[in-house]
């Protein structure tokens, strides 16, 4: 095959891609206009991936939300889809591997055979201009989407609408989705979020309630697990309102703050799919400063509490924590963002809150398959970046119905989570504890069940949960006296 490709290459000459005019039309009729596109830039972008082996260029494409459908030419869509498959499998990309993969899928001739692959490969001399090609392909794809949406809107507008408000809302949502799909660097330094949270604190105090937002830090858990280790997938699972986000945030806090146990602050990336960065920063401020969040919401704080918040903000402002609060993100996009930040900051920990909210690449798959894909992606990210990844997850209702402590089989929607995880922690109420009794207490005991540990023992750990601070702490028998 290599000889054949070399023969083909001898007939082609590397040229710098020229951008042809777009929006040319065969007639004045808008229905037969050729959509904006640049075959040359598409070829050049594909050539960049072949030129440098695929990892960096495909990562950049995923970060920019480039998909197979972003390409105008069907052959380019097919080739880029193969690039994504090779990328997920961790296989480098070159002409030979690409042709083998296309041939195995029966698609080589459909894309133009060896001759067209050679034409693409010889389109550029260097991948140095890849950002320009990527931007151009992405922009033209967005424009084509806008044209399709606008054409569809015009067609619907000519038909009688039962409810104009609903129609306008659907149009607005479609345009907003196109705008939202533009590239955005959503991982923010904690400093930005803390500044926003401090601003919210001042507003709460002034407006009196008008505005409402890799030791683990736990001695017994550290003793049982020896801390969190690189390449581990750690699942923290519970029913709603049991403290999944709180314990994940507490562990992140222990990681980013240098202490007697943790001599060096660990750079941490937190993906929050449910709460905004400012809300998380607010919880972190109150938890670290030991300030009652409910009193803060009500706008009534003592001077000492205000001083505690100021000290907490000063301590946390430059902590190495980055928060990505993208509401809609796939595991591929998550891995691309983590990989890019890791290259810049050498991450030591990644936290995801929470697993069931991660978007899937193919919504047509059954839910169990979707969760399996996400779970495998998280484990692959932990291994690739050589960092522990903590992921919060939901439990199903069985333990509540049967009034028992949760177990591994209660992990919601897929057994793949149990399989992929190296450590599974289940949060539960104290056994035989009355709901009404717990409601009256500010500090309650929580059972942290180490249900699975690939490299260590399993067992039960007691923790104290301070509801006012939304904070888990080391357990003391004194908790039972509250």
Q: Enumerate the active-site residues.
A: 274
Residue 294 near residue 468 (C-beta atoms within 8 A)? yes
Q: Are 473 and 456 in contact (CB under 8 A)?
A: no
Nearest-CA neighbor of 63 among 231, 154, 184?
184
Listed in order, strand segments (DSSP E) in 99-216 are: 187-189
Taking the C-alpha atoms of residue 281 and residue 264, their distance in angstroms, rounded to an integer, is 21
CA distances (Å), origin 70, targets 80, 95, 120? 10, 22, 17
207-227 in b/e burial notation, b at 16+ Cβ within 10 A?
eeeebebbbbbbebbbebbee
Query: What's the rounded Cα separation, in Å, for the pair 277 and 273?
Result: 10
Joined together, the tokens standing for residue 58 give: 């495909």
**β-pair type (349-353, 268-272):** parallel
6 Cβ neighbours under 8 A, 6+ residues apart? none
CA dihedral 320, 325, 326, 329 (to 10 degrees): 70
* Residue matched to tokens 């480098």: 92
The DSSP secondary-structure symbol of 33 reads B
DSSP label of 365: S
* Contacts for 95 with CB less than 8 Å, ≥ 6 apart: 5, 50, 117, 118, 121
Q: How far apart are CA 155 and CA 90, in angstroms?
A: 45
CA separation for the pair 86, 260 (Å, rounded): 44
Are 423 and 232 in contact by the 8 Å Cβ rule? The answer is: yes
Pairing of strands 459-466, 471-474: antiparallel
CA-CA distance, 240 to 393, in Å (whole number)?
10
Tokens (6 digits) for 160: 């009688």
Report which of 183, 178, 184 is spatially closest to residue 143, judged by C-alpha positions.
178
DSSP 53: T
In sequence order, what are the beta bridge partners of 236?
Answer: 392, 425
């Amino acid at each position: 095959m290599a000889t054949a490709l070399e023969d083909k290459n001898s007939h082609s000459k590397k040229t710098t891609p020229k951008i042809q005019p777009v929006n040319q039309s065969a007639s004045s009729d808008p229905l037969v206009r050729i959509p904006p596109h640049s075959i040359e830039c598409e070829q050049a972008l594909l050539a960049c991936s072949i030129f440098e082996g695929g990892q960096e260029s495909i990562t950049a494409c995923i970060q920019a939300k480039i998909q197979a459908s972003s390409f105008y030419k069907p052959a380019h869509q097919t080739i880029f889809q193969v690039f994504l498959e090779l990328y997920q499998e961790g296989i480098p990309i070159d002409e030979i591997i690409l042709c083998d993969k296309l041939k195995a899928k029966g698609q080589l001739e459909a894309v133009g055979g060896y001759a067209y692959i050679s034409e693409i490969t010889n389109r550029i001399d260097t991948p140095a201009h890849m950002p320009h090609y990527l931007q151009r392909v992405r922009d033209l794809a967005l424009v084509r989407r806008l044209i399709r949406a606008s054409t569809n809107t015009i067609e619907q507008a000519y038909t009688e609408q039962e409810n104009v408000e609903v129609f306008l809302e659907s149009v607005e949502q479609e345009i907003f989705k196109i705008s939202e799909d533009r590239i955005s660097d959503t991982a923010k330094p904690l400093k930005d979020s803390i500044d926003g949270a401090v601003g919210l604190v001042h507003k709460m105090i002034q407006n009196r309630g008008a505005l409402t937002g890799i030791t683990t830090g736990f001695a017994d858990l550290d003793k049982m697990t020896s801390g969190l280790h690189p390449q581990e997938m750690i699942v923290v699972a519970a029913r709603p309102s049991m403290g999944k986000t709180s314990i994940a945030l507490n562990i992140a806090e222990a990681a980013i703050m240098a202490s007697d146990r943790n001599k060096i602050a660990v750079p941490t990336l937190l993906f929050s799919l449910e709460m905004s960065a400012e809300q998380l920063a607010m919880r972190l401020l109150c938890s670290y400063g030991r300030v009652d969040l409910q009193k803060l919401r009500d706008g009534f704080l003592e001077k000492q509490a205000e001083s505690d918040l100021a000290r907490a903000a000063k301590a946390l402002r430059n902590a190495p924590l980055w928060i990505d609060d993208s509401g809609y993100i796939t595991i591929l996009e998550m891995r691309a963002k983590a990989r890019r930040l890791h290259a810049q900051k050498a991450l030591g920990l990644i936290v995801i809150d929470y697993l069931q909210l991660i978007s899937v690449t193919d919504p047509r798959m059954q839910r169990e398959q979707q969760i399996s894909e996400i779970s495998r992606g998280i484990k692959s990210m932990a291994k690739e970046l050589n960092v522990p990844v903590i992921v919060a997850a939901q439990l199903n209702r069985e333990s509540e119905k049967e009034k028992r402590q949760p177990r591994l089989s209660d992990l919601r929607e897929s057994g793949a989570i149990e399989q992929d995880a190296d450590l599974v922690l289940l949060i539960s109420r104290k056994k035989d504890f009355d709901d009404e009794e717990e409601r009256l207490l500010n500090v309650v005991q929580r059972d942290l069940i180490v249900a699975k540990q690939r490299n260590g023992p399993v067992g039960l750990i007691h923790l104290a949960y301070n509801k006012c601070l939304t904070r888990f702490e080391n357990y003391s028998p004194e908790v039972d006296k509250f």
